[in-house]
């Protein structure tokens, strides 16, 4: 048992990404009661960054910010009796664990450090048919974390585990769950998915933030806590007196974030997102219950990060009249003047200008040209210098947004899947002994829940107004490789009936023309009054390749909310800021 009480385990979060609020660890340790403090430092792009760090120095490859946080707070965590579980080990968890032991010895803090390894498949990439990436990491599960905690670890460092495993592992160790208890494991997965992005569960990045601000201070949102129970249910909350808010709306927003269909697969269980039930339990308290789980698939997902080549970018400001003609002149000049054409030249014209504008900026459009090539010379000053040479020979009012510079390397993310039996999963315990974690004993091939492609019944004849979707619907979006995920939810039963009938794949393509020629999948989550879309390929080769100006699709959902369509006037009445309406 980890915490003081057998019937509840209080797990907090202090990081949602590499670069999150550095003071959050101290804030969470000092802000109230906790049994475990977790931190998620990894994302697809982060693995590329850490992989490149390791190429430069084999001793690196972990999140150095966490080490600095422990310099400040390791003794505090031990004094408070709080276990720390993080994936800050990146591509070198053993290196971070060693650095933490040195820190503990240097500071006279008797911390017991453990780590989980086995996810790094780079040495076996060719053998496993994974190509020649610079980082290849399998998503491990929770049982290695649990083994470390059962052995008395104060700090557990992992590499690439699933984000939810940081919460599932402590729950397994505390409640002594068995590997076949899929409903309970899936319940902890749901709580872990809510916690993993930190303040996104307490009002950060929240679609209805202006409503929330009427009753909550959003200046500095607190970080979330999950109170886990033996049956796998949980209550999401935060420390008293911290900023932000926890509502059904904020929890829903995080549950639909970066997921595809109703089956959310992990290495220890499959979480049925369509079973999740949310219930408000007072101020800043939302209960997650009813969660069902299934056996995990027999394969593990592998994150592959490779160097895709080199890129450079130049921007041209086009002011006033004849913007389209000016853009065409720039394009024809640059492409004909280049001494060697890069493999890819991608042009984007953003019509930010408007007629008879009161300021010069409002009268201007932005033309961007992105060059990519395996040869850095083709996208270096040969490219950017040529763009500058157009300054006195091109369109009237020529203005560039940057200066000439060399190209920079960019990464490509791809996902692969390998038999779980081929991936070692090892818990390195505080005494240095090693415990092999076997793969899941019971697995099932992942059954895809069919996307919702049926033509819904036509809308009823009623009074409508043509207004932005965001007046009735929230959204949160993000990236998975080259795909974008957009979760859209509403807050009443009447709005859900309308949303499910109206926001079809065809309507999404109309509202977001950039998706018109791409494969789009739609899934329904009636319990959450949410619909999720997967737009395949809109991010090209992934966030690191920067195919779009918003390479991680974080603003895609807000663009969707800003688009106008016919909405029944009966749905446009104001709702309470907490989003708890049930009518």
Partners of 426 in beta bridges: 117, 436
- In b/e form, how buried is each residue of 287-317, taking b as 16+ CB within 10 angstroms? bbbbbbbbbbbbbbbbbbbbbbbbbbbbbbb
CA distances from residue 382 to 135, 346, 378, 394 in whole angstroms, order as listed: 31, 16, 6, 18
- In b/e form, how buried is each residue of 45-58, taking b as 16+ CB within 10 angstroms? bbbbbbbbbbeeee
Q: Which residues are within 8 A (CB) of 99 and not within 5 positions of it... i.e. 6 or more apart?
A: 62, 67
Strands 155-157, 113-117: pairing kind:
parallel
First to last CA, the chain: 42
- 3-class SS of residue 204: coil
d(CA 493, CA 98): 53
**Alpha helices for 196-229 (secondary structure H):** 209-212
Residue owning tokens 């039930």: 277
**Residue 432 φ/ψ, nearest 5 degrees:** 90, -10
Per-residue pLDDT of the chain (583 residues; tens, 9 = 90+): 776 677 999 999 999 999 999 999 999 999 999 999 999 999 888 988 898 899 899 999 999 999 999 999 999 999 999 999 999 999 999 999 999 999 999 999 999 999 999 999 999 999 999 999 999 999 999 999 999 999 999 999 999 999 999 999 999 999 999 999 999 999 999 999 999 999 999 999 999 999 999 999 999 999 999 999 999 999 999 999 999 999 999 999 999 999 989 999 999 999 999 999 999 999 999 999 999 999 999 999 999 999 899 999 999 999 999 999 999 999 999 999 999 999 999 999 999 999 999 999 999 999 999 999 999 999 999 999 999 999 999 999 999 998 999 999 988 899 999 999 999 999 999 999 999 999 999 999 988 766 555 555 555 678 999 999 999 999 999 998 899 999 999 999 999 999 999 999 999 999 999 999 999 999 999 999 999 999 999 988 877 777 778 889 999 999 999 999 999 999 997 654 444 443 3
Question: What is the token pair recorded at 270?
Answer: 């499959």
d(CA 241, CA 81): 22
CA distances from residue 305 to 96, 140, 157, 553 in whole angstroms, order as listed: 21, 17, 21, 19
Answer whether 0.85 is exceeded by the pTM.
yes
Partners of 478 in beta bridges: 485
- Give the residue from 338, 361, 337 showing the smallest Cα distance to 350: 361
- Give the residue from 307, 196, 257 showing the smallest Cα distance to 544: 307
Question: What is the token pair recorded at 279?
Answer: 């219930």
- 3-class SS of residue 85: strand
d(CA 307, CA 545): 9
Query: How many CB atoms are located within 10 Å of the residue 375 CB?
Result: 14
Q: With the CA atoms of 184, 190, 195 and 199 taken in that order, what torsion angle do they form, in degrees rounded to the nearest 10?
A: -150
- Give the residue from 153, 123, 154, 157 showing the smallest Cα distance to 140: 157
Q: Helix, strand, coil shares of the chain as percentages rounded to 5?
A: 30, 25, 45
Partners of 565 in beta bridges: 467
pLDDT tens digit sequence for 493-519: 999 999 999 999 999 999 999 999 999
Query: How many CB atoms are located within 10 Å of the residue 397 CB?
Result: 14
Going along 17-61, which residue ranges are E strands?
A: 36-39
Where is 529: in which H helix or E strand? none
d(CA 26, CA 9): 20
Can you list the domains of the chain with their CATH numbers?
9-297 (no CATH), 309-407 (3.30.70), 464-571 (no CATH)
Question: What is 407-439 written as a DSSP string?
Answer: -EEEEEEEEEEEEGGGS--EEE-TTS-EEE-PP
d(CA 158, CA 140): 9
pLDDT tens digit sequence for 249-284: 999 999 999 998 999 999 999 999 999 999 999 999
DSSP character at residue 442: S
């Amino acid at each position: 048992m980890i915490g003081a009480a057998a019937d509840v385990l209080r797990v907090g979060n202090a990081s949602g990404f590499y670069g999150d609020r550095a003071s959050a660890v101290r804030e969470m340790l000092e802000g109230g009661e906790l049994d475990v403090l977790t931190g998620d430092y990894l994302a697809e792009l982060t693995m590329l960054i850490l992989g490149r760090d390791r190429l430069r120095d084999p001793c690196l490859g972990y999140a150095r910010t966490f080490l600095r946080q422990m310099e400040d707070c390791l003794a505090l965590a031990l004094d408070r009796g709080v276990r720390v579980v993080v994936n800050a080990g990146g591509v070198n968890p053993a290196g971070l664990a060693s650095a933490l032991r040195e820190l503990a010895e240097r500071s006279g803090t008797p911390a017991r450090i453990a780590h989980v390894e086995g996810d790094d498949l780079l040495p076996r990439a060719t053998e496993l048919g994974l190509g020649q990436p610079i980082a290849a990491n399998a998503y491990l599960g929770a049982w290695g974390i649990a083994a470390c905690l059962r052995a008395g670890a104060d700090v557990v460092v992992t590499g690439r585990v699933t984000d939810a495993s940081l919460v599932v592992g402590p729950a397994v160790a505390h409640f002594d769950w068995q590997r076949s208890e899929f409903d309970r494991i899936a319940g902890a997965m749901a709580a872990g998915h809510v916690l993993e992005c930190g303040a996104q569960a307490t009002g950060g990045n929240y679609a209805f933030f202006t409503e929330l601000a009427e009753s909550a201070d959003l200046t500095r949102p607190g970080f979330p806590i999950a109170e886990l129970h033996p049956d796998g249910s949980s209550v999401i909350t935060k420390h008293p007196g911290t900023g932000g808010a926890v509502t059904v709306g904020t929890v829903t927003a995080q549950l639909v974030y970066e997921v595809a269909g109703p089956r959310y697969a992990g290495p220890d269980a499959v979480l049925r997102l369509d079973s999740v039930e949310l219930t408000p339990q007072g101020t800043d308290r939302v209960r997650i219950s009813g969660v069902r789980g299934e056996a995990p698939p027999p394969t593990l997902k592998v994150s592959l990060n490779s160097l895709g080549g080199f890129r450079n970018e130049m921007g041209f400001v086009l002011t006033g009249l004849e913007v389209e003609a000016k853009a065409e002149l720039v394009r024809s000049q640059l492409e004909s003047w280049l001494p060697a054409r890069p493999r890819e030249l991608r042009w984007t014209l953003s019509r930010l200008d408007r007629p008879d504008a009161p300021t010069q900026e409002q009268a201007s459009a932005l033309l961007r040209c992105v060059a990519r090539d395996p040869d850095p010379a083709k996208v270096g000053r040969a490219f950017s210098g040529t763009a500058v040479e157009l300054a006195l020979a091109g369109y009237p009012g020529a203005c560039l947004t940057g200066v000439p510079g060399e190209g920079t390397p960019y990464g490509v993310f791809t996902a692969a899947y390998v038999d779980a039996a081929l991936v070692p999963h090892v818990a390195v315990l505080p005494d240095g002994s090693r415990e092999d974690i076997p793969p899941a004993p019971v697995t099932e091939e992942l059954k895809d829940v069919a996307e919702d492609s049926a033509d819904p019944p036509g809308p009823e004849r009623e009074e409508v107004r043509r207004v932005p979707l965001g007046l009735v619907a929230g959204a949160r979006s993000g990236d998975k490789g080259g795909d974008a995920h957009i979760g859209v939810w509403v807050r009443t039963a009447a709005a859900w009936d309308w949303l499910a009938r109206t926001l079809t794949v065809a309507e999404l393509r109309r509202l977001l023309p950039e998706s018109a020629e791409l494969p789009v999948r739609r899934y329904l989550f009636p319990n959450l009054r949410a619909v999720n879309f997967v737009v395949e390929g809109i991010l090209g080769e992934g966030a690191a390749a920067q195919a779009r100006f918003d390479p991680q699709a974080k603003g895609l959902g807000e663009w969707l909310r800003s688009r106008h369509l016919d909405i029944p006037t009966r749905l446009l009445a104001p709702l309470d800021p907490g989003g708890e309406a049930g009518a």
